[in-house]
Structure 1
Amino acid sequence: MNTLIDLFETFEERGEKTVFVNRTGIRRIILTYREFHLLSLKMAALLADKGVTSGDRVLLWGPNSSWWGIAWWGTILLGAVAVPVDFMAGPERAENIRNLTEAKVVIQSRFKPDRLAFQGALLFEELQYLLEETQPAGFYNHPAPEATAQLIYTSGTTGNPKGVILTHRNLIANMIQISRHVPIITPDFNFLSLLPLSHMFEQMGGFFTPLYAGGAIVYPRTLKPSAIMEALAEENIYALIAVPRLMQLLKTSVEQALREKHLDLAAARLRTLTANLPRTARKLLFYPVQRKFGKNFTVFVSGGAPLAPELFNFWNDTGFTLLEGYGLTECSPVLTVNTVEKQVAGSVGPPLPGVELKLLSGEVTARGENIFPGYYRNEDATRAAFTGDGWFRTGDMGEIGPDGWVTIKGREKEMIVTAAGINVYPDDIEAVLNRLDGVRESCVIGLEKQGGEEVHAVLLLDERVKNPGDIVAKANRSLDALQQINGFTVWPEDDFPKTTTMKIKKFEVKEKIKTGESGKSGPESTDRLINLIARITGNDATDVHEESLLARDLGLTSIARVELVNYLEQEYRMDIDESRIGTETRVRDLREMIAKREKFYYEGHFRLWTNSSLVKAVRKIGDILILHPFVRHFAKPEVFGLEHLEKLEGPLFFVSNHLSYFDQPTIMLSLPPKFRYHTASAAWAEFFFDSSKPLFERIWKRIAYEAGTLLLNLFPLPQQQGFGSAMKFMGKLADNGINILIFPEGQHSRSGKLLPFQMGLGVMVRELEVPVVPLKIIGTEKVLPHDAKWPKSGKVTVTFGKPLYFKNDEPGEIVKRAREAVEAL
């Protein structure tokens, strides 16, 4: 196997085996290898129609998903060059990279509010609809192994970004090296993809390597620990790749679960007593922790930043295999990894097969087919990156033991590597700070914190500066989202310590900051939220204000955002989508989210078991003995439009007007059997679970709900709070092929005229991506009027309309078309 095309040609022969699982937060969308192969060919054709040819650059700026992978492979099939950009990067960085590469096409996401104004730009979220109407490319490019496959930019936007050229040979070589070094990876492996695919660590370990092995890749929509643990429980995950900060978040989540069960102290003692036992014994002893990760979970792989020994020991002591590795983007990226048989805390393991390492004055240098040929259009940087005899200079100081195992001692470069594995260059940030009024000089350093480094600015200020926090906030507004300053110190002396050439002695500055000899931390606030934000962002509580922007003013990074969401879930017992915390989110906005948080009081009433074969059998008996006699005694509904249902397969949305409590049983009995016993009906949650009602009313409504779940497959749909939980449940229904009956008016129409539809319908249809079948019921308002206690005989008709299909329509348009369709029946 010499090029990525050789890898691509293996996809079709794997047929119906799953390659991608997109967990949207609502749905679980599966793609097979055969579908992936076909869609990649279609993507190549779509890009060709956009004028992309061999050697052109295509910029990819979007979140992880199967569509990112399809766009990437479509680019490669044309012989073009992929240019991935971190989804969390700001538009300035993306625009700068686009200009540097002269990208022919930009593919971005609708989830980015500040998209690039690029003529002909595509959206990842629209690719599935565009490709439906695209014929697959009849041929594809067969590049030479030394041809460029992609460009990865490693630095910030305010300096001179360097584009790392990675060839087909580089990527294929590293993929095969890893597969030989970690031979346990098989087609059975399901990988959980958590880091950005623009990050070479994730791309190589969580994209190319699984594809080479024939495994499956699972993409969660969010990195919340609760969402990760849910994916681990449901997707039979074997492996995941993480940076240390994420490993710390998972550790915190595990410890929180143990603390809630009052097992934390016992677990800590057990770890101490069993640390030297065989791994099999530790797995058994820590089974309550192990089972949370699934029965087949095999290995964590950590990289991108140094792993703290105590973090390694936690996972090792609890019976997990954790492989720490080392590499750089320029190395495609992996150079060394601990082995499955042996892991050593503090060591990054031996070199991969085919990788040569040697020390040059203590600096680690490398050679191998995975080493990049140079920087894009930057000959000076390329020359500086290699020794005279062709060894790549990593810039990292290290030791190589007699057994070949490597220990990294520190970086020769002053580059800061965050816990998320992002490279941040101090010169870029200092240039921004030094331009600001009131700043005499600045020194940007990386301070070790929570498994990585955080960007810390040390400021030499004019005496007239009253609020240094304003300067940092102003700088952050000019910096990319990946370069945000997390904390700062005002230097108390007249000048920084400097060399004879007037360079700041950053080591001395850093030591003084670490030992607390300069600057003082502000006092804690009495406000729980303020203290939480201050602790996670590394700011003083006095610098956190209601109007502070979490990202720009307080330096909230993407990984720190996940940590914040995790703590909010634990502290406030709430469920929050991390995507709601964006670049413009302020502290007061977060406080409002907490005040309006969704509570979990409906969770126990979302029941998938009511769709089991046993309950369906009970439901059929209930129809014969109860519902059929009852409904037909008062009304013999006439049903029209059944021909529109003949060729349909679930899942579907049945969208109806609402006149009476008699609607649901009548509609359910009007459905053909293949839909009747595969349909769940939404019911007004507040009607059944209003705790303010008298006790007797609460009891009979609860009994009515329990009976309704058995006979009508009811589930609660709240109108006030808890909608997110209901959406997730509906997603699970759809994933299991269950149709959903819904009444989007949200109440009975006493006049019989169609009321406005709730906007929630549009959100549901868009998120669930299922067809809508409009239907209209007439006459039930006379059989069982709104205030009646018992039905009376009357004529009822049920009419089904033609199905409606939506392709990425806005919720408002979906609601408009659905209501018009119901009204027209």
Structure 2
Amino acid sequence: MRTLIDLFGTFGALGDKTAFVNRTGVRRLVVSYREFHDLALRMANLLAQKGVVPGDRVLIWGPNSSWWAVAYWGIVVRGAIAVPVDFMSDSARADSIRNLTNATIVLQSRFKAERMTTAASLLLEDLPYLLEDVQPIGEIASAAPDDTAQLIYTSGTTGTPKGVILSHKNLIANLTQINTQVPIITSRFTFLSLLPLSHMFEQMGGLFTPLYHGAAIVYLRTLKPSAIMDALGEEDIYVIMSVPRLMQLLKTTIERELEEKHLLGLFRSLARLAASFPKEVRRTLFFPVQKKFGRNFTVFVSGGAPLEPEVFTFWSNMGFTVLEGYGLTETSPVLCVNTMERQVAGAVGPPLPGVQVKIEGKEVLARGDNIFPGYYENEQASRDAFTSDGWFRTGDLGEIGPDGWLVIKGREKELIVTGSGVNVYPDELEAVLNKVPGVKESCVIGVERGGGEEVHAVLLLDGSGKAPEAIIGQANKSLDTLQRITGYTIWNEPEFPKTTTLKIKKFAVKEALKKGVEGGEATASRDSLLNLLAKVTGTGTAQIREESLLVTDLGLTSIDRLELVSFLEQEYRLDIDDSQIGPQTRVSDLRQIITKREKTTRHDHFRLWTNTSFFQGVRRVWDALVHYPLFRSFATLEVRGGDKLEKLDGPVFFVANHLSYLDQPAVMFALPPKIRPKCATAAWAEFFFGDYHGFDRIWRRLSYEYATVLFNLFPLSQSQGFSGSLGYMGKLADAGINILIFPEGEHSRDGKLHDFQMGLGIMVKELGIPVVPIKISGTDQVLPHEARFPKRGAVTVTFGEPLRFRYEEPADIVKMTRQAVMDL
């Protein structure tokens, strides 16, 4: 195997084996290797139709998903050059890279608040529809090993990103080297993809490696802790490619859950005790935690930044295997990695086979087939990157032990040299500061003071109220006198600016300090939260104040709320529910929600088990014995358009007008017997779970018990917590269950069709299933809204042609669906 084209040639033969699982937060969508191979060929043809020729650059700016992978391999098959851009980058950076590479076309995402408008572009989320009408390309491009496969612009902790040229030879060499050193992957493995595919660490370890072995990859739309833990609980995960910050986030999530159960003290005592036990004993001792990661979970692979020994020890003491590695984008990316036989805290392992590493003047130098040829259109930087005899200068400081294992000390450019000539490694000081109570995160930088640098700490506090002077004093007690922190600044944003691997952009922090007010409080040059609120609500940033009410002052609608939550989850990787944002929520409250990162406890009333075959059978019997005879005793039912349901394939939304409490049984009995049991109905949650008391509360709860089991109703809130209902509907669709919904939200008292609620558009867009419009008439005469008992009468249920939406936005879906019901 010499090129990525050779690797692509192996995919089609894997047939129906799962290649990708997309977990959108609402749906679970599976793509087989056969489908993936076909889609990539179609993608190559679509690019050709858009004018892309071999050698052109194509920019990908979107979140991880199977469609990112389809786009990437379509570029490869076309013979073009992929230019992945970190999804978290702003539009200015993405547009700058487009200009630098003269990209022919941009593949971007609808999930980005700011999109690029200055270039020809396609939305990654539209690819399922675009590729339906495109045939697979007839001729796959050829590639030589030295041909450029992709250009990756470094994230830039130094503020000077450069375009790294990576050839087919570089990528295939590193793929082979890694799998020789860690030969554990098989086709049975499932990888959980958590890092951006725009970063070489995830691309090599979490895309090329699993595809090389015919393994499966799971993608999440957002990296909030609950989504990660849900995936671990529901997918059979073997491997996670991670970075230290993400492993710290998972560590904090576990510790928080233990603290809530008052078990954290016992856990820590057991962990200290278990440190000397064999790994299998540790795995057994911490089985409750191991269980959360699945029965086959094998290994964390950590890279992108040094892993603190404390975090390594936390996972290792519980019996987890943590392979820490080291490399750079320029090295495709891996140079060294721990082995399955031996892992050492603080060390990044021996060099890979075929990779040479040495230390020259404390700097790590490397050589091998995986080393890049140079920077794109930047000859000076390319010359500076190599020694005269061809060794790559990593810019990292390190030491090689007697056993040949490498230890990284820090970035050369971040090394602080004090006035006394003492070398201070910021990573070591940050590790001390981050353990001090009151500190959420820290960033240590050198501030020039004439004749040397001052060791300066920038603190992101956790809101506990601990004085920063006390924090610095406590940290300094653990530090050597010559390395102590001599100044500090408080960071007022919810997060530090981060690279794609969650490393702090220290150059950006330094710039912010230069612009900050005298006295030391740092603020970012632009407030990302205010910009996000302005984008979602349409309010100018100048009009947004900390005391502004999101709903009243900024006009945040229920639909805006869901969009805002989605963007916040993407931007800050936190758990947040739309129910946390209410009429009294201010901008300052939202900052606190982001800062505290507290996991919300939601009391849902969903029952997926009512859709099992057993309960479907129970409803069949109960309908035949009770519901249908009762309904027919006062209603004569006429069904029109039933033939339109014969060719339904998969779940659909049934969308009907709403006249009476009899509407649900009328539709159910109008459906064909094979469809009826596989249909759930959305009901007004507040009817069952409002602020009721006494007997009223009891009978409504009993009604809920009866309705969920024997009518298969589920609650849909009209005030808050809509995301929970949306997630439940996704599970129904995944299980092949149809959904009946009455989007007017209440009975029509005058018999006319009222406006549909906007939530319908989001439901249809997120679930991606067809809509069958339904017109009900006569139920308001049989059981008027104010009546206690029904009277005899005729009821008509008319089914329309299924509507299949593709590119429409939610508002358009609502409008078109209502018109379809109106036309009936």
TM-score w.r.t. length of structure 1:
0.83
Task: Give the counterpart letter for 1:750 in structure 2.
Answer: R
Q: State the match for 1:12 in structure 2.
A: 12
1:273 match: secondary structure = helix
Contact (CA 8 Å) 1:575, 1:598: kept in 2 or not?
Answer: no
Contact (CA 8 Å) 1:245, 1:450: kept in 2 or not?
Answer: no
**1:315 counterpart = 2:324:** no
Q: State the match for 1:549 in structure 2.
A: 527
- Is the alpha carbon distance of 1:708 and 1:561 closer, same or farther for their aligned partners in structure 2, counting shifts above 3 Å? closer
Task: Give the counterpart letter for 1:357 in structure 2.
Answer: V
Contact (CA 8 Å) 1:245, 1:451: kept in 2 or not?
Answer: no
Q: State the match for 1:352 in structure 2.
A: 352
Shift of 1:712: 1.2
Kindly report which structure 2 residues correspond to 1:405-444, keeping only aligned pairs within 5 A, or say none: 405-414=405-414
Q: State the match for 2:36 in structure 1.
A: 36
* Structure 1 moving runs of 4+ over 3 Å: 155-161, 413-416, 444-454, 485-491, 505-522, 530-548, 550-554, 560-567, 585-595, 597-602
CA distance in 2, matches of 1:654, 1:763: 15
Shift of 1:271: 0.7
Question: Superposition RMSD on alpha carbons, in Å?
Answer: 3.6
Q: Deviations over 1:464-510 (max 9, x none)?
A: xxxxxxxxxxxxxxxxxxxxx9879997xxx7133xxxxxx347668
1:93 match: secondary structure = helix
Task: Give the counterpart letter for 2:359 in structure 1.
Answer: L
CA distance in 1, matches of 2:308, 2:191: 24
CA distance in 2, matches of 1:173, 1:332: 9
Moved more, 41-50 or 360-369: 360-369
Shift of 1:614: 1.2
Shift of 1:273: 1.0
Q: State the match for 2:763 in structure 1.
A: 764
Task: Give the counterpart letter for 2:577 in structure 1.
Answer: D
Task: Give the counterpart letter for 1:211 in structure 2.
Answer: L
Kindly report which structure 2 residues correspond to 1:491-640, keeping only aligned pairs within 5 A, or say none: 496-498=449-451, 505-506=452-453, 515=476, 518-520=486-488, 549-550=527-528, 575=577, 587=588, 589-590=590-591, 602-603=603-604, 605-640=605-640
**1:103 counterpart = 2:103:** yes
Q: State the match for 1:673 in structure 2.
A: 673
Task: Give the counterpart letter for 2:146 in structure 1.
Answer: E
Q: Deviations over 1:112-159 (max 9, x none)?
A: 232222342111121221111111110111110110000111155996
- Is the alpha carbon distance of 1:553 and 1:660 closer, same or farther for their aligned partners in structure 2, counting shifts above 3 Å? closer
CA distance in 2, matches of 1:402, 1:686: 69
Contact (CA 8 Å) 1:24, 1:220: kept in 2 or not?
Answer: yes
CA distance in 1, matches of 2:703, 2:802: 32
CA distance in 1, matches of 2:603, 2:179: 46
Task: Give the counterpart letter for 1:496 in structure 2.
Answer: R
CA distance in 2, matches of 1:238, 1:72: 24
Q: State the match for 2:139 in structure 1.
A: 139
Task: Give the counterpart letter for 2:94 in structure 1.
Answer: A
Task: Give the counterpart letter for 1:138 in structure 2.
Answer: G
1:210 match: secondary structure = helix
1:796 match: secondary structure = strand
Contact (CA 8 Å) 2:445, 2:455: kept in 1 or not?
Answer: no
Contact (CA 8 Å) 1:106, 1:118: kept in 2 or not?
Answer: no
CA distance in 1, matches of 2:226, 2:314: 19
Q: State the match for 2:721 in structure 1.
A: 722
- Is the alpha carbon distance of 1:377 and 1:452 closer, same or farther for their aligned partners in structure 2, counting shifts above 3 Å? farther
Shift of 1:566: 7.3
Q: Deviations over 1:486-536 (max 9, x none)?
A: 879997xxx7133xxxxxx347668999856543566x9xxxxx8987999
Contact (CA 8 Å) 2:44, 2:74: kept in 1 or not?
Answer: yes
Unpaired stretches in structure 1, ≥5 consecutive residues: 417-425, 427-443, 455-484, 499-504, 525-529
1:795 match: secondary structure = strand
Moved more, 107-116 or 793-802: 107-116
Shift of 1:400: 2.1
- Is the alpha carbon distance of 1:8 and 1:563 closer, same or farther for their aligned partners in structure 2, counting shifts above 3 Å? closer
- Give me the identity figure in percent: 57
Task: Give the counterpart letter for 2:449 in structure 1.
Answer: F
CA distance in 1, matches of 2:646, 2:758: 29
Kindly report which structure 2 residues correspond to 1:718-757, keeping only aligned pairs within 5 A, or say none: 718-757=717-756
CA distance in 2, matches of 1:517, 1:450: 11
CA distance in 2, matches of 1:587, 1:660: 44
Q: State the match for 2:558 in structure 1.
A: none
1:637 match: secondary structure = strand
Q: Deviations over 1:8-34 (max 9, x none)?
A: 011111111111111111111111111
Task: Give the counterpart letter for 1:519 in structure 2.
Answer: G
1:413 match: secondary structure = helix
CA distance in 2, matches of 1:695, 1:14: 61
Task: Give the counterpart letter for 1:52 in structure 2.
Answer: V
- Is the alpha carbon distance of 1:740 and 1:266 closer, same or farther for their aligned partners in structure 2, counting shifts above 3 Å? same
Q: State the match for 2:687 in structure 1.
A: 687
**1:299 counterpart = 2:299:** yes
CA distance in 1, matches of 2:330, 2:530: 30
CA distance in 2, matches of 1:394, 1:202: 19
CA distance in 1, matches of 2:394, 2:359: 10
Q: State the match for 1:438 in structure 2.
A: none
Contact (CA 8 Å) 1:447, 1:453: kept in 2 or not?
Answer: no
- Is the alpha carbon distance of 1:739 and 1:155 closer, same or farther for their aligned partners in structure 2, counting shifts above 3 Å? closer
CA distance in 2, matches of 1:488, 1:563: 26
1:366 match: secondary structure = strand
| Pairs aligned (count) | 737
CA distance in 1, matches of 2:569, 2:108: 22
Q: Deviations over 1:730-775 (max 9, x none)?
A: 0010111110000000000121111110001011001100000001
Shift of 1:700: 1.1
Contact (CA 8 Å) 1:96, 1:157: kept in 2 or not?
Answer: no
CA distance in 1, matches of 2:602, 2:590: 24
Q: Deviations over 1:544-599 (max 9, x none)?
A: 99999356899xxx9x97799677x5xxxx52699x9xxxx95455469999x997
Contact (CA 8 Å) 2:579, 2:721: kept in 1 or not?
Answer: no
Task: Give the counterpart letter for 1:714 in structure 2.
Answer: L
Q: Deviations over 1:32-84 (max 9, x none)?
A: 11111111111111111121111111111111111111111111112111111
Shift of 1:360: 2.4
- Is the alpha carbon distance of 1:104 and 1:248 closer, same or farther for their aligned partners in structure 2, counting shifts above 3 Å? same
Contact (CA 8 Å) 1:244, 1:306: kept in 2 or not?
Answer: yes
Q: Deviations over 1:677-733 (max 9, x none)?
A: 11101111000111x223111111111111111211110011001111000000010
Q: Deviations over 1:219-255 (max 9, x none)?
A: 1111111110011111111111111111000000001
Q: State the match for 1:77 in structure 2.
A: 77
Contact (CA 8 Å) 2:577, 2:721: kept in 1 or not?
Answer: no
- Is the alpha carbon distance of 1:594 and 1:798 closer, same or farther for their aligned partners in structure 2, counting shifts above 3 Å? farther
Task: Give the counterpart letter for 1:549 in structure 2.
Answer: D
Contact (CA 8 Å) 1:534, 1:544: kept in 2 or not?
Answer: no
CA distance in 1, matches of 2:60, 2:348: 31
CA distance in 2, matches of 1:202, 1:577: 33
**1:786 counterpart = 2:764:** no
